[in-house]
Structure 1
């Protein structure tokens, strides 16, 4: 019970800090919004689909995963700022569980990402996007698991590097490769065989495929089950690794 309370307290404090400066979340949604406004309208003739709804059912799920990957990987930057300002040093004497500290922060990051995703979906509706509510909620569950996995990974990196200058280029490099090999902008079905083979080793390509299946109305697709299992396993593995880093650095 104490662990749950500790997690909630950390989450509550981090959420209040976010509410005092929501500009970061607004900036984070601007780039995906530009893709939605200026790139998505080109897809209908490119994909050869009959209407805008069909093209947005392909593009918006990839855009949501792009948001989760990018925002999740950069979540640890706030931890570096806390280290610089002395906040982390003061937590060394705190009785709060290190895992609770990690999960509380990660849950705040997930909340922000899901709010951004909801905004993008709502903005896509006037363009013709239609998706069943249950399927949308399942997609958000996938996004939440993806965000937890990457936010925890990012926090672990932040504790290792303790420097924005050192961590930012690495995160940019990782995010670029993950996004390119996920098919977030166009389905990997359009890619040559060698590229699809490489993309098969990228766990987030399965998340994109599952999200597109859900937006198409196929909640029972095999890709959905695969993506849920893969993202859940990743979330557990990265959280365990980052929790160990918390215990090592804040003991």
Structure 2
């Protein structure tokens, strides 16, 4: 476990020292809050600011979790990762250290945005809601850190990853209901959104954060917290199970891909073979 701890501490220090990146990651979410807040202003949503802020927090945690790919590639190119991989430690422990550190950083950013959100009018009716929010943020960080590590293990250059990251982040985020309600999307995009793991992640997190767990199925559907598919209602709690299922899949794929990956082929050269 010393390898896991060492990788975790190294990535956490890198997060703390990069103050520009930290500040930017806290400012941009509130820019989105200002831009998209009016979209959620409907008769069904009592507090559009809190409703959108919940989506922004989970989207930020998702995007930060994927940053594990960048750190893994950079560590490989610099030679740091290769030195670790030739040591007696197992690749599984290295993968675990990368995943845990990315999940920790992502969860921390989500918590910081949440704390700042209290100054915008966000509030909880019950003290234990904050505990539930922390737990779900940790789960989201772990789920999508696995996806980030999987991407890092599959690409062959840092330039390739930049393209892959945008191809994953943009559709996953904007087709999840985090920034734009799914009801506003065309029918084709709404169908695609139902195959998006971030759709169910946003639904369960928003339900917990806004303390909407006691509503009826019709009220959940009206708020966009539940989804009706041919008469079948996917409740927020079912969304939680779906999120965990995707998480188990991502973690399994990522660890297997990392163990079998040939990091000697990873390059910064944009002309490198992909």
TM-score tier (shorter): 0.7 to 0.9
**2-structure distance, mates of 1:250, 1:7:** 20
Counterpart of 2:203 in structure 1 is 209
2:55 counterpart residue number = 62
In structure 2, C-alpha distance between the alignment counterparts of 1:223 and 1:6, rounded to whole Å:
40
Q: Any conservation in 1 of the 2:36–2:180 contact (CA below 8 Å)? A: no
Q: 1:114 aligns with which of 107, 116, 119?
A: 107
Q: In the aligned structure 1, how far is the partner of 2:262 from the partner of 2:9? A: 21
Aligned to 1:244: 256
Quote the offset at 1:194 in angstroms.
4.1
Deviations 1:86-131 (A, max 9, x none): 0121112222232221121221112212221122122222221112
Distance in 2 separating the partners of 1:128 and 1:20: 30
Q: 2:158 maps to which residue?
A: 164
- TM-score (normalised: structure 2): 0.78
Q: Does 1:225 align with 2:237?
A: yes
Unaligned runs of 5+ in 2: 216-233, 264-274
Match runs of 1:76-225 below 5 Å: 76-131=69-124, 132-219=126-213, 223-225=235-237
1:39 equivalent among 10, 32, 35: 35
Select the residue among 14, 19, 23 that pairs with 2:20: 23
Q: CA deviation at 1:176?
A: 0.8
**Alignment coverage as a number of residue pairs:** 244
Contact 2:16 2:22 in 1 (8 A): no
Is the helix fraction higher in 1 or 2?
A: 1
TM-score, length basis structure 1: 0.84
Q: Residue deviations 1:168-189, cap 9 Å, x none?
A: 0111011111112101113324
Distance 2:94 2:87 in 1: 10
Is the CA contact (8 Å cut-off) linking 1:142 and 1:231 kept in structure 2? no
* Structure 2 Cα separation of the partners of residues 137 and 224 of structure 1: 18
**Helix, strand or coil for the counterpart of 2:68?**
coil
Query: 3-state SS of the aligned residue for 1:182?
Result: coil
> In the alignment, which residue of structure 1 is the partner of 2:225?
none
Structure 1 residues 64 and 124: CA distance shift in structure 2, 3 A:
same
Note the C-alpha offset of 1:192.
4.8
Please point out which of 4, 10, 33 is paired with 1:7. 4
CA RMSD between the two structures: 2.6
Unaligned runs of 5+ in 1: none
